[in-house]
Structure 1
Amino acid sequence: MNTTDEQHIRDLIAATTELWIAHDMPGWGRHFTEDADFVSHAGQWWTSRHDNVEGHLDIPDSVVPQKRNYVQRVESIAEVAAGVALVHTRWDWPDHRSPGSEAQDRAGIISYVVVRRDDRWRIRAAHNTRIS
């Protein structure tokens, strides 16, 4: 994988992180393929961009402002075939508070399969695993 592709993938992850924090889920979803799979940390499995976005819109209003505490960083990028890469990120979400619960420091790992389509890198699949 050349350094330009690697930088574009890093930019993709940075963009989706910023859109996640802003809770711009339609904007976030545009970085996924139409047939994207997403497995959430809670075990939901969405099999389209539409369902993925809709599923991520369904969070309590009290959680949205807490997203400003969320960070995600790329840990590794590996080319698995021409135009296909496996990306692992780590995320941290300190002081996350679900309704009726005490604040928790949450963390996890997301495995992404990203593909180059129409001269853009997009997320084809993601699996989010909570580790805290």
Structure 2
Amino acid sequence: MNLAIPPTNHTYALYAITLGDYVENAAEKQIRQVFDHMKQAWANADAASFGECFTEDSDFVSFRGEHYKGKASNIAAHEKSFSGMLKNSSLYINIKSIRFLNETMAVVHAEGTVLKEYETATNCKLSYTTNILIKENGVWKITSFHNSKKHRKGLFSRLLGI
């Protein structure tokens, strides 16, 4: 973060700015907020809030290949998981790219994982997600979320740098 000194009534006031404030447009910021909302809902184990990020007819494909059709199915699966195997976990998402197909549709590629309390993103296996977002009534929502394992090179390939 950098500090800037903008002129304010012939005096100066400090406020925080980031590179994203200059580079990202409003739609990109709104899309990033969808993923921030998703992470917060996950941290709160709030499946209903998690579901707010998705359209009613959305498709969600988990890292295990489970396919949840519709928001209600997605919420029900996460309610069960948040009280079971995903209890006390957090969601790590690193958006790699946002590509707008038109003014109301975007493709977002990200890497991410579910972290247990003792894990960090640097010491775990990441997966890729491909997300299609649409703008419904002025609000960006995920209509398709597909999660797949990230291929890790074997020892031989890593040693040879191929």
Q: The TM-score by the shorter chain falls in which range?
A: 0.7 to 0.9
TM-score (norm 2): 0.68
In the alignment, is the contact (CA less than 8 A) between 1:25 and 1:53 conserved in 2? Answer: yes
Checking the alignment, whether the CA contact within 8 Å between 1:25 and 1:57 is kept in structure 2 is: yes
Do the aligned partners of residues 57 and 18 (structure 1) sit closer, same or farther apart at CA in structure 2, a change above 3 Å counting? same
In structure 1, give the amino acid aligned to 2:95.
V
Is the 1:94–1:106 Cα contact (8 Å) retained in structure 2?
Answer: no
2:69 matches 1:47: yes
User: Percent of pairs identical after alignment?
Assistant: 21
Deviations 1:65-106 (A, max 9, x none): 1x13x3111110001123000001111345589xxxxxx833
Q: TM-score, normalised by structure 1?
A: 0.82
Root-mean-square deviation (CA), in Å?
A: 2.2
Q: Between Structure 1 and Structure 2, how many residues are aligned? A: 123
Cα 1:47/1:3, change in 2 over 3 Å:
same
User: Structure 1: where are the runs of 5+ without partners?
Assistant: 98-103
Structure 2: unaligned runs, 5 residues or longer:
1-23, 153-162
CA spacing shift, 1:95–1:31, aligned 2, 3 Å: closer
Q: Is the 8 A contact 1:83 1:116 kept in 2?
A: yes
Secondary structure in structure 1 of the residue aligned to 2:56: strand
**Higher Cα Rg, which structure:** 2
Greater RCO, 1 or 2 (C-alpha within 8 Å, sep 6+): 1
